[in-house]
Every structure is written in C-alpha cells, then in structure tokens.
A and B are shown apart, each in its own frame.
Chain A
Amino acid sequence: MSSQAFTGGHKASHQELPPEFQDQEESIKITGFWMFIVTDVLIFASLFATYAVFVNRIASGPTPAQVFQLNTALIETLILLTSSFTIGIAIWAMRQNRQRMVTWWLVLTVLLGMAFVSIELTEFAGDVAAGWGWHTSAFLSAFFLLVAAHGTHVTMGIIWAVALLFQLRRRGLTTVTRRKLYTFSLYWHFLDIMWVFIFTVVYLGGRLI
C-alpha cells in the first residue's frame, strides 16, 4: 500500500481510506471512542464549573496567587504541547507505514508524559508539605480534584501507550494496532486541550482574580 493511497479528498471511496477506517468494525470503534471523549468533555466541564464556584472560597487557606507557580505551569504546558506534537507525528508516520518511526515518536510521547506527571506530583507534594492540602479550603479541594483528574488521565494514557508499544513490537502495524494508535492519539490530544484550559483558567486565571 503506498502512502499516496489516502489522498483522495472527501470523495474517497472506502477502498482508498486508511486501514483503520477501511475496516468497518475498527471504524465503528473509532466513532465509539469519540463518544467516550464526548462524555469526558462533560466530566471535565463539571469539574471546571466546581472550580469556578469555589475559587474564591479560600477559608483560612492560601489564595490562588499564593499557591500557583507560573514557571512550573509553563514547563508542564510546554511538555504537554510537545507530546501532543510528537504523537501527531507518530500518527502521520503510521499513515506512511513507517513502523520504526511510529515506535520512536511514541516512546518520546511516553517520556514526555512521564515528565509531566512527575512535575505535577512534585508540585502537589510541595503544596501538601506547605500545609495546603485538599482539606484546607473549598478552593483547594476543587483545584486538586480538577488537576488530579487530568493527571490521572495522563497516567492512564502512559500505561495505555506502553501497552501499545509492546503490541506494536509483537504484531506490527496491523489494522487493529493502527486503530488503537489512532484512538490513543485522540485521547492524548484531548488531554492536551483540557490542560490548555487548566493552564488558562487555573494558573493564568489565578493571577487575574
């Protein structure tokens, strides 16, 4: 299959589609994964709404401006934006049938994800050590709930990506592994979008309210 095969534009017939869409069952799973993302959008919307309601309820605890370090948040953002780019390149390489390239860009994505989670955990540990735990105020409860929900998603994504690396090594780029890589990329980019909102609302917003 040549990489030129998919350039058919929007009138492409099924035969010209990438393998993960050519196969009807796999393409249904991709649609199903979009439905999962739809539900996850609603979960994060609820957490953002909770945060918006409680952000000024600081009780005797610290204000947002006291808690948040913009440097750390910027580094986390840059890491996640870069990992979104690397998985984007992995999917591009997958469409070109370049398995080695897919593997290395996926490895890079996993490493960036791990760096992100480590920095976030360090940040949380520092907050708790300073006496700013989730029980300190409604603001901190909402903050930890929102940001840790995102961090948990990223951690799950890392486990998923490592499993995919093993499958890729064993089975190569099959229709099924292509679909799994594709849905993983959707998940990862979705988490990047949620982080951009966390960076804007929580970290930048903390300086503006």
Chain B
Amino acid sequence: MHGGDEQHETAIEPGFDFISPRFEEPKFPMHQVWGYAASLVLTFAALWMTVNRIMSPSVLLGVVLAMAVGQAALQLGVFMHVRESRGPAWHLVPLGLAFAIGIGLVGMSAWIMLFKSGVS
C-alpha cells in the first residue's frame, strides 16, 4: 500500500478494463429517476404476466426470474455505483464469484429436486 497523497495512477492490465473505476456526478439525478421508473415497470410487468398467466408456468417463471436479474443489475449499476473505487474496482471479482456460486447453489438445488425418485 502506498501513501495516501501519492498521485500515481494504478496501471490496469489489458483484459482487466472492467475493473477500471468510474465516477459520475451529474447536476440532476436523472440516472436515479430512470432507474426507479425502470424498476417499477419491471415489477408491474412481472406481476401482470404472472396474474394473467400469459405463458406456461415454467417458462413464465424463467422470464420473471430474468426480469429480477435485470432489476438487480439496475440496482447495482444505477444506485450502487458498482464501478466506483479509489483504485481498480477489485470488489467486482469476488462479487461476480459470489453471484455465480449463488446461482449455482440455488439452480442445482432446484434441479436436483426435479428428480422425484430417491430421498424425499
């Protein structure tokens, strides 16, 4: 670790551009307003699709789950400023790993329960 007032820029390896920090501070919080509106639209759309059963339940579950992932991405990008960092945004790496493990854990648990035979 270097001293707090040191001015050098941390070099980011090629291929690791996704961890380069970004900051945005506009005069009016337009991003937040759009993010809020988009999350409301996604919520009502998912609810409407479910109540009206516009397709077969298993496909619909996949669709509303995809919409939830969209909302999560919206929260992370618009509200959590996920790329803000002092140096390279290394927290993106373990965060991505945690989401991958989480999806694997939930997905495989749901999958294994599809087998009706065996332990119940």
Contact = CB atoms under 8 A, between A and B. Distances in A.
A156 interface: no
B110 interface: yes
Contacts of B68: 196-197, 199-201
A189 B75 contact: yes
B51 interface: yes
A46 B85 CA distance: 29
Nearest to B44: A74
Contacts of A45: 98, 101-103, 105-106
A contacts with B: majority SS: helix
A192 B79 CA distance: 11
Given A208-B50, A208-B57, A209-B61, A46 B105 contact: yes
Interface in A41-81: 41-42, 44-46, 48-50, 52-53, 56, 70, 74, 77-78, 81
Contact of A34 (B5, B22, B91, B105): B91
A43 B51 CA distance: 30
B80 interface: yes
B14 to A, nearest CB: 15
> Which residue of A23, A25, A88, A96 has the most chain B CB atoms within 10 A of its CB atom?
A88
B86 A201 contact: no
B47 A14 contact: no
A178 to B, nearest CB: 12
B75 A193 contact: yes
A18 B23 contact: yes
B103 to A, nearest CB: 8
Report the contact-size class of chain A (Cβ under 8 Å from the partner): 35 or more
Interface stretch (A1-9, A118-126, A129-137): A1-9
Report the contact-size class of chain B (Cβ under 8 Å from the partner): 35 or more
A15 B64 CA distance: 43
B72 A197 contact: yes
Given A13-B9, A89-B29, A200 B46 contact: yes
Interface string B71-112: 110011011110011100011001101110111011001100
A14 B20 contact: no
A128 interface: no
25 contacts: A7-B24, A7-B25, A9-B23, A10-B20, A14-B7, A15-B7, A21-B84, A24-B86, A25-B4, A31-B91, A34-B95, A46-B105, A48-B105, A52-B110, A53-B113, A70-B51, A84-B39, A85-B32, A85-B35, A88-B32, A193-B76, A196-B71, A199-B68, A204-B61, A209-B57
Interface of B: 1, 4-7, 9, 20-25, 27, 29, 32, 35-36, 39-40, 43, 46-47, 50-51, 57-58, 60-61, 64-65, 67-68, 71-72, 75-76, 78-81, 84-86, 90-91, 94-95, 97-99, 101-103, 105-106, 109-110, 113
Interface of A: 3, 6-15, 17-18, 21-25, 27, 30-31, 34-35, 37-39, 41-42, 44-46, 48-50, 52-53, 56, 70, 74, 77-78, 81-82, 84-85, 87-89, 91-92, 95-96, 185-186, 189-190, 192-193, 196-197, 199-201, 204-205, 207-209
